[in-house]
Amino acid sequence: MTSRLSSVRRWIAVGFVAVLPLVVLLVHAQMETPLLRPLDADRPIPTFISQEGPGNRPGDRDLAEHALEAWAKATGGILTFRFVEEKDALLRLRWVSAPGSLYGEMRPIMVEGRKGAEVFVRPEIAGLGKELDARARADSLFRDTIVYLTCLHEFGHALGLDHTANYEDIMFSFGYEGDIMNYFQRYRRQLQKREDIALHLGLSELDLKRIRQLYPPPRIPARQ
Ligand SMILES: [Zn+2]
């Protein structure tokens, strides 16, 4: 009986140790991205992308659209988007200036009883660190890489994905250890010209798997 009890205690201890990092991870994700949940994908998601904002450049809207297309492709077309006026949009992107090293942010919203999300993206690289800023000034495709990947990451949150600790993922959090310059450079290296951004999704195997779990293909009913 005693040995059984101590074995139970041991398992509780092992269970607690195993669960602890998960709890910490969830708390971390919740702090930055509260109330993550999938959006209604049974019809095209009404979407708005702002054309203006501090630091916004004329082609930045394309970058945001490519980021939406990447998530749409990742789900094999289960996710679709249609552009509407801001007040009617469930998914909204605004270009903002941000304090410190914040690249972007997502906030859940409700629009006439439906789940939506506002995404804020910083298009101005100055302030994100001397090294990144210098590189972005010298190479506009590097600057576009940062803006594109930030849109992709924040839309990922808007669609219901939380952070991972895996450096390969677009949902990787910079709160974990990893070389931020190289994180952007490895995507930049795939580009010859700006149009190539549409060809390289910037999503890892795990990103693809996770978004497909949230937005699975409809089940075909079994034949009677
Ligand atoms: Zn994030």
Which residues fall within 8 angstroms of residue 148, CB to CB, at 6 or more apart? 63, 66, 67, 187, 197, 202
Distance 35 CA to ligand 1 centre (A): 13
Asked whether residue 188 is domain-assigned, the answer is yes
Cα–ligand 1 centroid distance for 222 (angstroms): 39
Rounded CA gap, 181 and 87, in Å? 37
Tell how far the Cα of 146 is from the centroid of ligand 1, in angstroms.
Answer: 14
Report yes or no on whether pTM surpasses 0.85: no
In a domain, 19, yes or no: no
How much distance in Å is there from the Cα of 174 to the middle of ligand 1?
8
Q: How far apart are CA 191 and CA 143, in angstroms?
A: 12
The answer to the question of residue 18 being in a domain is no
Domain count, the chain: 1
Mean pLDDT computed over 111-133: 93
How many angstroms separate the alpha carbon of residue 112 from the centre of ligand 1?
A: 26
- In the prediction, which pLDDT does 224 show? 62
Contacts of 106 (CB under 8 A, 6+ apart): 33, 117, 118, 119, 120, 154, 157, 158
Average pLDDT across the chain, whole number: 86
Identify whether the C-beta of residue 173 lies closer than 8 Å to the C-beta of residue 120.
Answer: no
- Domain membership flag for residue 75: yes
Structure tokens at 179: 């070389």
**Which tens digits make up the pLDDT trace of 130-145?**
999 999 999 999 999 9
Distance from residue 173's CA to the centre of ligand 1 (Å): 6
Domain of 152, in residue numbers: 33-214
Q: At residue 207, does pLDDT exceed 80?
A: yes
pLDDT on residue 35:
59
State the distance from the centre of ligand 1 to the C-alpha of 44, rounded, in angstroms: 24
CA of 102 from ligand 1 middle (Å) equals: 10
Ligand 1 centre distance from Cα of residue 178 (Å): 14
* Coil, strand or helix at 31: helix
Q: Is residue 8 part of a domain?
A: no
d(CA 181, CA 135): 9
CATH code of residue 91 = 3.40.390.10
